[in-house]
């Protein structure tokens, strides 16, 4: 039995036992007076080595010794103290394990580890250090009480920037509240991935609103565990307290939040859960604004021309396979300029909607597909998603940047424009070599016909073919007064059924073929080449939804009837005679 005069209080005893970090922490937490009080107290006292086991910058120096962390530090220290005088002998005499109520009102579990006592996961390495107001049992570990979200972040050591940001944004009280909350918590390393100076700027008072929005974008209003996520139909949009959705998905076994990987799941707290992530989540804009910000200049111009801005700023979700500017530059010269003209709005809209699906198609979702897979698009029809090695392909376009997240969906950048099944007119518009033909079709009022059910076969003269006509011919034909003549010429290029090159090769050539406007053309072969009258087919079997196009190098002119020929000869003779008479009068 020790003499009372030899003993000192708990705090001085801890100092005498070289529990240096503990004494420093007691002082920082303003608990010296309490632990010098009457007691009795039993203190399970972590030694210096115990504090060194903690994460760098966590409970140990210097994080918890800062004034702003005083409450958390006090809570942790009081979790090591019970208001009883319990010797090791007294504890061992109990029916272990037992729950022991600490000053924080939380319980520890006291048990046996061989001959040693355990308190939670800490082992008593030196029992029964007596003090005037109680007793100390030295532990080899710091034991932590149940902590709220902010306290957990503070004690972890990997979230110094996050905690600083939470306090700068004035969100500490909220995240220490009842909840429950689920926080996707970026580590310090995640914040370090942001461009230099970003964090410093966000912490400025004038940027508080922006910081609040960013932090709220990491918080779900409810407890969402990894088991909950695994039970979802993924990918799924989940609303944050910022009222902007994140996309939760899996890629293999990893949970993904937007593009961030969850590196540690289900860190429990008194008011929710933390999932640790490796990137900071930045609240995205809608698809159109994101495309603008990401320099999809031609795509944004096209979306605007097609009057799709409002639709793609809508709720969604949408996945857009977005051609970059280089992809549009691969189209034939002049096609983009033609497509954004008002008269081609319907065709442009159809093409753009063929790049959009009203579903979330993440990289993770693609990894779960049985490839190749058909994906339905807004324009109708479907694209084929496949893989070429590690590259995801959409039809023949390669995905070059994946998973650009937006508030209403996501973007995958692709290296080519993908075209849906088009009708004859749409095909001519997008080809780039039929500008004159398209202009003529519209001037003749034949667009609706050639966009109809069909099927049709069109012998389509190129712009170069029209350029072979005498100067001024095209301009004259496009005049309203010549509409009937233009219509007859164009119909002379159309068969009212589908006639492929295989069908032609099966004919007994030469053969006359009836055309839509009446009259016939003569189809022949010159070696391996097919000719229509004197025009050479330079490309066969361009497939459309309502027929076929065969490209020709010469405009076909209908044969004029005998009566019309006689009439024209009479006109020309009259003009000739009139000219002679005029010349005679001038001469006289």
Residue partners of 399: CB distance under 8 A and separation at least 6 = 321, 391, 392, 393, 412, 413, 414
Which range among 59-68, 365-374, 493-502, 563-572 shows the weakest confidence by mean pLDDT? Answer: 563-572
Does residue 42 share a domain with residue 95? Answer: yes
CB atoms near residue 82 (< 10 Å): 23
Does residue 270 share a domain with residue 194? Answer: yes
DSSP secondary structure code for residue 6 in this structure: G
Residue partners of 26: CB distance under 8 A and separation at least 6 = 11, 14, 32, 35, 77
Structure confidence at residue 87 as a pLDDT band (50, 70, 90): very high
SS (H, E, C) 427-472: HHHHHCCCHHHHHHHHHCCCHHHHCCCCCEEEEEECHHHHHCCCCC
> pLDDT value at position 64?
60
% of the chain residues with pLDDT over 70: 93
Would the pLDDT of 585 be above 80? no
Does residue 540 share a domain with residue 442? Answer: yes
pLDDT, tens only, 148-159: 999 999 988 899
Structure confidence at residue 582 as a pLDDT band (50, 70, 90): very low
Domain finish residue from 256, 277, 298 = 277
Tallying the residues shown for the chain, one arrives at 588
Would the pLDDT of 583 be above 60? no
Does residue 377 share a domain with residue 322? Answer: yes
CATH value at residue 237? 2.30.180.10
- The H or E element spanning position 102 is none
Residue 397 tokens, joined: 């376009």
Closest CA to 320 of 401, 374, 253: 401
pLDDT, tens only, 23-76: 999 999 999 999 999 999 999 999 999 998 887 655 444 556 788 889 999 999
Domain finish residue from 121, 139, 157 = 139
Binning the chain into helix, strand and coil, the percentages to the nearest 5 are 35, 25, 35
Mean pLDDT, the chain, rounded, equals: 92
Q: Which pairs from 527-534 meet CB under 8 Å and 24+ separation?
A: 530/501, 530/504, 530/505, 532/459, 532/556
Residue partners of 289: CB distance under 8 A and separation at least 6 = 313
Specify whether the CB–CB gap between 43 and 35 falls below 8 A: yes
Number of domains forming the structure of the chain: 4
Specify whether the CB–CB gap between 51 and 60 falls below 8 A: yes
Higher-confidence residue of 466 and 575: namely: 466
CA angle 195, 185, 175 (to 5 degrees): 120
Report yes or no on 487 lying in a domain.
yes
pLDDT, tens only, 517-551: 889 999 999 889 999 999 999 999 999 999 999 99
Phi-psi region of 46 (alpha: psi -120 to 50; beta: other; left: phi over 0): beta
Does residue 502 share a domain with residue 407? Answer: no
Does residue 131 share a domain with residue 11? Answer: yes
> pLDDT value at position 6?
87
Domain that holds residue 273: 149-277
Q: What's the average model confidence in pLDDT over 254-258?
A: 96
Domain finish residue from 414, 439, 455 = 414
Q: How far apart are CA 398 and CA 401, in angstroms?
A: 9
% of the chain residues with pLDDT over 90: 87
Closest CA to 226 of 265, 282, 177: 265
What does pTM read for this prediction? Answer: 0.79
Would the pLDDT of 514 be above 50? yes
Would the pLDDT of 167 be above 90? yes
Residue 412 tokens, joined: 């995958």
pLDDT, tens only, 314-373: 999 999 999 999 999 999 999 999 999 999 999 999 999 999 999 999 999 999 999 999
Does residue 434 share a domain with residue 391? Answer: no
Does residue 467 share a domain with residue 497? Answer: yes
Does residue 130 share a domain with residue 9? Answer: yes
Q: Would you give the end-to-end CA distance of the chain in angstroms?
A: 157
């Amino acid at each position: 039995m020790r003499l009372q005069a030899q003993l000192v209080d708990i705090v001085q005893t801890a100092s005498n036992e070289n529990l240096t970090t503990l004494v420093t922490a007691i002082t920082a937490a303003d608990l010296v007076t309490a632990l010098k009080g009457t007691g009795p107290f039993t203190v399970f006292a972590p030694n210096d080595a115990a504090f060194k086991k903690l994460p760098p910058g966590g409970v140990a120096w210097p994080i918890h010794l800062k004034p702003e962390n005083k409450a958390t530090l006090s809570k942790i220290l009081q979790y090591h103290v019970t208001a009883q005088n319990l010797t090791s002998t007294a504890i061992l005499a109990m029916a272990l394990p037992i729950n022991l109520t600490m000053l924080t009102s939380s319980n520890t579990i006291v048990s046996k580890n061989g001959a040693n006592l355990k308190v939670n996961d800490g082992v008593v390495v030196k029992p029964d250090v007596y003090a005037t107001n109680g007793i100390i049992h030295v532990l080899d570990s710091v034991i932590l009480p149940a902590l709220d979200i902010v306290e957990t972040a503070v004690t972890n050591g990997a979230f110094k920037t996050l905690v600083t940001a939470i306090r700068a944004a004035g969100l500490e009280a909220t995240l220490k509240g009842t909840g429950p909350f689920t926080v996707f918590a970026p580590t310090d390393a995640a914040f370090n991935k942001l461009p230099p100076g970003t964090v410093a700027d966000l912490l400025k008072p004038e940027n508080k609103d922006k910081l609040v929005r960013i932090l709220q974008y990491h918080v779900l209003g409810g407890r969402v565990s990894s088991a909950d996520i695994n039970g979802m139909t993924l990918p799924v949009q989940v609303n944050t307290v910022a009222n902007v959705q994140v996309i939760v998905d899996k890629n293999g076994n990893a949970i993904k939040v937007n593009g961030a990987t969850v590196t540690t799941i289900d860190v429990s707290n008194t008011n929710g859960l933390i999932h640790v992530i490796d990137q900071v989540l930045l609240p995205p804009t809608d698809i159109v604004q994101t495309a603008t910000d990401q320099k999809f200049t031609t795509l944004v111009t096209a979306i605007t021309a097609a009057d799709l801005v409002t639709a793609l700023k809508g709720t969604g979700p949408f996945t857009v396979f977005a051609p970059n500017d280089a992809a549009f530059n691969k189209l034939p010269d002049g096609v983009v300029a033609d497509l954004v003209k008002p008269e081609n709005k319907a065709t442009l809209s159809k093409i753009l909607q063929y790049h959009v699906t009203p579903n979330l198609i993440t990289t993770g979702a693609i990894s779960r597909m049985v490839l190749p897979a058909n994906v339905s698009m807004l324009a109708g029809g479907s694209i084929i998603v496949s893989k070429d090695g590690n590259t995801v392909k959409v039809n023949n376009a390669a995905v070059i940047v994946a998973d650009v997240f937006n508030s209403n969906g996501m973007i995958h950048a692709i290296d080519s424009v993908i075209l849906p099944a088009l009708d004859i007119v749409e095909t001519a518009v997008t080809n780039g070599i039929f500008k004159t033909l398209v202009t003529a079709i519209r001037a003749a009022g034949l667009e609706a016909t050639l966009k109809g059910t069909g099927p049709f076969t069109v012998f389509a003269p190129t712009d170069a073919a029209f350029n072979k006509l005498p100067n001024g011919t095209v301009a004259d034909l496009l005049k309203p007064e010549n509409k009937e003549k233009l219509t007859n010429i164009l119909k002379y290029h159309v068969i009212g059924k589908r006639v492929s090159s295989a069908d032609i090769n099966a004919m007994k050539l030469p053969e006359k073929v009836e055309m839509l406007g009446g009259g016939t053309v003569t189809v022949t072969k010159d070696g391996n080449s097919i000719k229509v009258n004197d025009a050479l087919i330079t490309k066969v079997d361009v497939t459309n939804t309502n027929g076929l196009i065969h490209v020709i190098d010469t405009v076909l002119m209908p044969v004029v009837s005998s009566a019309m020929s006689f009439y024209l000869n009479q006109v020309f003779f009259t003009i000739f005679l009139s000219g002679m008479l005029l010349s005679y009068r001038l001469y006289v």
